[in-house]
Amino acid sequence: MSSPSPFDSNADLQIKLHLYPATVPGSNFDYRSEVPPLPAGVAIERVYADIMKYLMDYTQDFFKRTIPKGEEIWARVRDSIIIVLATPNAWDIREQATLRKAAVMASLVTEENAGQLLQFVTEAEASVHYVLAHHPTEWLRKKTVFAVVDCGGSTVDTAVYRCISTSPLILTETCPSECIQVVHLPPLAHLHEYECRRADMSIRQEASLLTAKWRRC
């Protein structure tokens, strides 16, 4: 028996595609016409809100269980936590507004403090911060020029930076960052069938619980 296509029922696999800008550089097909709709009555904001709430709830639980006096500390700082969301380079005000609404729905922030406690960073810039925080930086000197290429599941984000100063650290983009859409749903459907035959399905089944919840709404 052949495995069902992920585009027949697993809308959770294409969540990002529902939020993509109408036009993305490098796109030569109407991908949105091939993306299955979300369950009736479920908006994309609701989908992201459920995901955000899930992540925050488990972050809170882990913090309270593993940090000394974690519950006391969490209660003291919870209302001042700054939430930083990383997005593809091509996402702009429209996509950020959707994520901001979802963050409010998930109670990560409120309408009143979202302007101060919710921030956005491009995925390319987030990658730079990660590398600098977790890897030796002897290679980074004044006037060093380096590129960041983030090959994701549906886009390739690129950026080129020049180091102006190392103390304090100052980087500047040498040219505008780019976001090239590379996803094509039919090949991904074939890949899904291959994965279904070889990979353990427990993670996919767990992820589908959220989809089932949205369909019951």
H/E segment holding residue 13:
none
The residue with greater pLDDT, 11 or 95, is 95
pLDDT score of 30 more than 60: no
Instruction: Kindly state the average pLDDT of the residues 65-73.
Output: 96
The answer to whether position 131 is within a domain reads yes
Which range marks the domain in which residue 123 is found?
6-216
* Amino acid, single-letter form, for residue 100: R
pLDDT score of 85 more than 90: yes
H/E segment holding residue 119:
strand 118-122
* Amino acid, single-letter form, for residue 1: M
Could you give the number of structural domains in the chain? 1
pTM above 0.75, yes or no: no
Q: Is 83 helix (H, G, I), strand (E, B) or coil?
A: strand
Instruction: Kindly state the average pLDDT of the residues 108-123.
Output: 94
The answer to whether position 77 is within a domain reads yes
Pairing status of strand 83-87 against strand 118-122: parallel
Average pLDDT along the chain: 77
Within 10 Å of residue 127's Cβ, how many Cβ atoms?
Answer: 17
Which whole-number Å values give the CA distances from 211 to 14, 41, 42, 72, 107, in the listed order? 11, 13, 10, 34, 20
R_g of the chain computed on alpha carbons: 20
The answer to whether position 189 is within a domain reads yes
Confidence of residue 123 (pLDDT cuts 50, 70, 90): confident
DSSP 30: -
The answer to whether position 1 is within a domain reads no
